[in-house]
Amino acid sequence: MSLRLPVLNVWLRMTLKWPLSWIKEPATARRLFEFVARHAFRPPQGTHFVEDRIPARWGEIPALWASCGRPDRRRIVVYLHGGAYIMGSIATHRHIAAEIAKAADARVLLPEYRLAPEHPFPAAVEDALDIYRHLLASGYRACEIALAGESAGGGLVFALLLALQAEGLPPPAALVGYSPWADMTMTADSIRRNARREVMIPVSRWADVIGFIHHGTDPADPLASPARGRFEAPPPAFITASRAEALADDATALANALRAGGGDVRLEYAARTPHAWPIMTRILPEADRAVARTGAFLKAQFEAAQR
């Protein structure tokens, strides 16, 4: 455990968990997230960003391409940001997109998918599916695409895989989920077991958040709760979570579902890290190591898929 970790955990309790426990409006939570990200996160030096707009069934999805140095242009990682489907943006996650681009020697596409409550479920899944279709239509092969994300974005990665199965589209080369929110029924034992230990997410607010996301839809739908889905020969996956977080059991349930479908899953748990800690690069050594392992995993899977 690094010396910074306990200090960061205290800071997160004060700057995120406590405010989120009483903030009622998603717009206020979004402003808090944007403020924290603006002051805490920095992309690596030498990062190159290019803005884009991805065609979707409803219009266009804002997106950002991130790269470092001279990446392999036939390696694309789609990074789906977290934020409980109600917050998060290009601005809050451009740094982690850049870090993964550098670690994986790839280009990372960071889309700004639609958020609830303005756009409830399944809007985010529809946007992710449109982005994947766009990449295929642009000439990229599925073996040249990987999916990654954290928290809600981590769950969205695997919901997208289920959507691809249903559409008969080819699966990506690899999947990465950091602390994935993979079961919106919120029945996992870790939600109660780790309610006090969790330093970022106020468990008392989950019902409100799910209410924002689901307007008459079922949280148990596999596209909302991919840990409850049936996967068919899924691509290799790297999933990591903290034993101290409320969503700890989601990672295990998701890994079990993937393995039941014949998937090769690398599941790692950290001891005392906060929820979605890999996005805290250049702040937390544990995050830097997680991103380095992500890069090595993605490189290996791209090489294997493109042989």
The answer to whether 239 and 255 have CB atoms below 8 angstroms apart is yes
At 305 the pLDDT is 87
At 241 the pLDDT is 98
Query: Tokens standing for 74?
Result: 């036939």
How confident is the model over 58-87, as pLDDT tens digits?
A: 999 999 999 999 999 899 999 999 999 999
Cα–Cα distance, 30 to 26 (Å, whole number): 6
- Helix (H) or strand (E) holding 64, with range, is strand 59-68
How confident is the model over 30-44, as pLDDT tens digits?
A: 999 999 999 999 999
The answer to whether 283 and 273 have CB atoms below 8 angstroms apart is no
Residues with a catalytic annotation lie at 151, 245, 275
Q: With left for phi above 0 and alpha for psi between -120 and 50, is residue 178 left, alpha or beta?
A: beta
CATH no., domain 4-305 = 3.40.50.1820
At 58 the pLDDT is 95
At 48 the pLDDT is 97
Beta pairing, strands 265-270 & 59-68 = unpaired
Burial of 159 (0-12, 13-18, 19+ CB in 10 A): buried
At 1 the pLDDT is 83
pLDDT < 70 regions, the chain: none
At 81 the pLDDT is 98
At 15 the pLDDT is 92
